[in-house]
Amino acid sequence: MPIITNIFISIKFQRCKDKVNSLAISVMNQWPGVKLRVTEGWDEDGHHSKESLHYEGRAVDITTSDRDRTKYGMLARLAVEAGFDWVYYESKAHIHCSVKSDNSLATKTGGCFPSKAMVTLENGQTRAVSELNPGDWVLTVNAVGQVVPSQVLLFLDKEEELRISFTVLETEDPRQRLELTAAHLIFVSDNNTDEMENFRPTFASRVRTGQFVLVREIGSGQLRSSRIKAIYVEEDTGAYAPLTSHGTLLVNNVLASCYAMIEKHHWAHLAFAPLRLFHSLTSLLPVLHPQYDNATQESGIHWYSRFLYSLGEKVLDREMFHSL
């Protein structure tokens, strides 16, 4: 007896097929007599945006065979448990699920921004994250919602040439479009509010359309909330994760965390306190202060990040970590 019913199911990416098969079994176990319904897999008719993973066979749109929308919350949870890398409500009619590319660096790194992502320096000039150097001062937001400068200490991750999949968050202002890896933390709110305390850190892969992010308004420089109108995935070359003294920064004028992999920004900031303290002390002692720039810092994930992740795996619940 078939366990999947479909309108159009052509899935040309083996990893996606495996996840669909696993999810189909979970659906049958959860609701006897109900099947997984795949409404679209590979797009041959050009119905999606040009960046869509439907053209690569890495995405499916799903419902249950009875089209009962009250089941969609649990269906999304089952899809996550089946191993899909991105799961979200793309419309009221279906849930979108997709997987990373096998050769994507997203399976080898934590949280980063693409090399072309822009930050604003203290003097108002803009600069690509790939051109930042330790010691630069960039704009971020403090705990009470004020735009302030923060010093770049180092790069937690730096990959110059490898390709990686980025989650793209498009706000209602097309100039405030943020790309970041799925495991990176971004501050979101379910409500249209400008109050910092209403924004919580979450993985980019868990952000949903209709939620709000904090943006620095171009022109006035004022901080306000902006609604996310679209979410999709793009691949790009290069990945950079600058660490600032505040643990946050404005990237393409959108407020983001410097941290990734664990969905607790405050915990991550505390965990990196010894590293921040070391850099503060050595900056006061020129003899000890490391004199290096972007070009001389080694590529790859910083040793301290690797150490913290290994430690966290031993002492923290695995559910707190982003699943790659």
Instruction: Please enumerate in sequence order all residues whose Cβ is within 8 A of that of 174, keeping only pairs 6 or more positions apart, or say none.
Output: none
Helix H or strand E segment including 17:
helix 14-30
In 77-146, beta strands by DSSP E? 86-91, 94-98, 118-120, 126-128, 137-141
Give the mean model confidence (pLDDT) for residues 196-215: 92
Whether the pLDDT of residue 48 is over 80: the answer is no
| Residues 197, 232 within the same domain | yes
Residue 109 domain flag = no
- Last residue in a domain, options 70, 98, 126: 98
| Residues 46, 148 within the same domain | no
| Residues 82, 210 within the same domain | no
- Last residue in a domain, options 64, 98, 132: 98
Q: What is the pLDDT of residue 63?
A: 95
| Residues 127, 175 within the same domain | yes
Whether the pLDDT of residue 291 is over 60: the answer is no
Work out the pLDDT band at 5, boundaries 50, 70, 90: low
| Residues 243, 298 within the same domain | yes
| Residues 263, 306 within the same domain | yes
| Residues 88, 147 within the same domain | no
Strands 4-6 vs 36-40: parallel, antiparallel or unpaired: parallel
pLDDT tens digits, one per residue of 167-205: 899 999 877 899 998 889 999 999 998 888 899 999 998
Residue 125 domain flag = yes
pLDDT tens digits, one per residue of 122-151: 999 999 999 999 999 999 999 888 999 999
Residue 105 domain flag = no
In this predicted model, which residue has the larger pLDDT, 105 or 54? 54
- Residue 319: how many CB atoms within 10 A of its CB? 7
Residue 5 domain flag = no
| Residues 77, 133 within the same domain | no
CATH number assigned to the domain comprising residue 296: 2.170.16.10
- Residue 163: how many CB atoms within 10 A of its CB? 15
Residue 168 domain flag = yes
Overall size of the chain counted in residues:
324
Residue 130 domain flag = yes
| Residues 316, 235 within the same domain | yes
- Last residue in a domain, options 98, 133, 159: 98
| Residues 194, 297 within the same domain | yes
| Residues 76, 150 within the same domain | no
| Residues 145, 293 within the same domain | yes
Strands 300-301 vs 147-171: parallel, antiparallel or unpaired: antiparallel
| CB 240 within 8 Å of CB 132 | yes
Least confident of 7-16, 136-145, 244-253: 7-16
Q: Which amino acid is at 178?
A: L
pLDDT tens digits, one per residue of 84-122: 888 988 778 899 998 876 544 344 455 789 999 999 999
Residue 3 domain flag = no
Backbone angles phi, psi at 144, to 5 degrees: -105, 10
CATH number assigned to the domain comprising residue 32: 3.30.1380.10
Work out the pLDDT band at 232, boundaries 50, 70, 90: confident
Residue 112 domain flag = no
Domain range spanning residue 28? 14-98
- Structural domains of the chain, count: 2
pLDDT tens digits, one per residue of 161-170: 777 878 899 9
